[in-house]
Amino acid sequence: MKRLLTLALLLISIATPVAADTTMTLTEPTHRSVTGVFINDELASSITPRGRLGKLLFERSGRVDKFVIDVSLLEEIQDLADGYRFIDELGEEIEIPEFLIAQIWLDTLRNAVRGKQVVALPYGNPDREFLGKKAPGEYEFLKETAQVRLRAALSVPVEQGESLESGGESNQLLRNLSDSYRKSLRVTNSAIPAPEIATLRLRIAQLLSPDLPKESVTPLAADLSKALRDNSQRLRIAGGNYTITSSKYDLPVTVTNDFSVPAKINLFVRATNSRVVVGFIEPLTIPAKSQLQVKVPLEVIASGDTRLEFKFITSSGAQVGQIQYIPVRLAVISPITTSFTTGMAIIFLLAAVIQSFRRIKGRKER
């Protein structure tokens, strides 16, 4: 009897499968431009009950103990929920005022992750091999940022994770774009920690995803390139043409800060030849979204033409933004020339006086 009971329990244990621990991974290549317009409507379709992300979340069966999530996906879905614009197949921009399914998807996820292990993928799930070699510091920044943002989005403890191994690599065009701007963005951010700079760094990471479809590369790369060029002009010096007629002069130049935070920066100025010497300029604090007039002390050595090179640098000497050249005409009479001219004028005056004196004397003798 005891043997029969043991055998029955064994058969029951074999016939009844034990629910295995499962992991749900939620990530998707970006569908959104820097301006916030979606280049297609695929993400909205994906989170519906019949879409890939919708089925994954709404129809989950069994137990999910671990969620691996790219927070950039959640941010794009939140954009859908608040109302969004997308480009349709005819190239026309369509506006959707509100997308209720997106909010339902997000709320379902927030309920599902309670009490579960949550791991944040580096922001955008970028090419780990590429960034790990080229910019390990940037890769760590993406991990930390993703952890902070995902914790805020879900209100649960979040661990840091690594990018998924997709078996592919990011597009070479986007790699080159990353190499061209990544360092300058990091340097600018160190002096001007503006949210718009962080947004561009995160945007580059999104486009470095190996899963980004080929058809999305061209429009998204063009969009990012324009945004990066515009960003390099947010801190700038106004051009102009100047003529200086005195040996010492404070040249007034206008600097503009279009960032959303104040810029604490140094202005470096030098002449391209030895006709003029540039004096010391105090470090600048340029308020957000404003202009400031700076007086550049100049001492003219010789007349002629020169160019002044202007650039912003950090306290460590790294350049921020682009170099600006301003032409200057130096129409100053040097002290030696002035003395010579004055002396000649005195001589001519004396000669004229003597000549007049002789004429008067000659008339009297007659």
* Residue pLDDT, tens place only, 169-212: 888 888 888 888 888 899 999 889 999 999 999 999 999 999 99
Exposed/middle/buried for residue 18 (C-beta within 10 Å: 0-12, 13-18, 19+): exposed
pTM as predicted: 0.78
The answer on 36 and 84 residing in a single domain is yes
Same domain, 159 and 287: no
Instruction: Clarify whether residues 30 and 44 are in a common domain.
Output: yes
Given this model, what pLDDT does residue 305 score? 92
What pLDDT score was predicted for residue 231?
92
Q: Which pLDDT score, from 0 to 100, does residue 241 have?
A: 86
Q: Give pairs for 49-53: CB < 8 Å, separation 24+.
A: 53/26, 53/28, 53/105
Distance CA 246, CA 334 (A): 9
Residue 357 placed within a domain: no
Residues of the chain with pLDDT under 50: 1-20, 337-338, 340
Name 231's Cβ contacts closer than 8 Å, sequence gap at least 6.
185, 188, 196, 197, 200
Evaluate whether residue 123 is within a structural domain: yes
Which of 215, 232, 249 is at the close of a domain?
A: 232
Any domain includes 65:
yes
The reported pLDDT for the residue numbered 62 is: 74
Same domain, 140 and 261: no
Which of 210, 232, 254 is the C-terminal boundary of a domain?
232
Predicted local distance difference test score (pLDDT) of residue 240: 85
pLDDT computed for residue 323 by the predictor = 92
Residue 346, in any domain of the structure: no
Does 38 lie in the same domain as 120? Answer: yes
Check whether residue 51 and residue 114 sit in a common domain.
Answer: yes
Are 174 and 257 contained in the same domain?
no
Please report the pLDDT score of residue 356 as a whole number: 63
Tokens of 7: 């055998």
The answer to whether position 348 is within a domain reads no
Pick the last residue of a domain from 232, 253, 268: 232
pLDDT digits (tens, 9 = 90+) for 214-262: 999 999 999 999 999 999 999 999 988 899 999 999 999 999 999 999 9
Determine how β-strand 304-313 pairs with β-strand 263-271: antiparallel
Residue 304's CATH number: 2.60.40.10
Residue 215 placed within a domain: yes
Structural domain boundaries, residue 56: 18-232
CA–CA separation, 124 and 73 (whole Å) = 8
The pLDDT value recorded for residue 169 is 80
Residues 54 and 183 occupy one common structural domain:
yes
| 66 and 131 co-located in one domain | yes
Number of separate domains in the chain: 2
Sequence length of the chain is: 366
Same structural domain, 199 and 248: no
On whether both 274 and 160 belong to a single domain, the answer is no
Answer yes or no: is 77 within a domain.
yes
Q: Tell me, yes or no, whether 54 lies in a domain.
A: yes
How many Cα atoms within 13 Å fall on the side-chain side of residue 273? 14
How distant, in Å, are the alpha carbons of 142, 194, 219, 257 from that of 284? 31, 17, 38, 11
DSSP 291: E
One domain for residues 123 and 174? yes
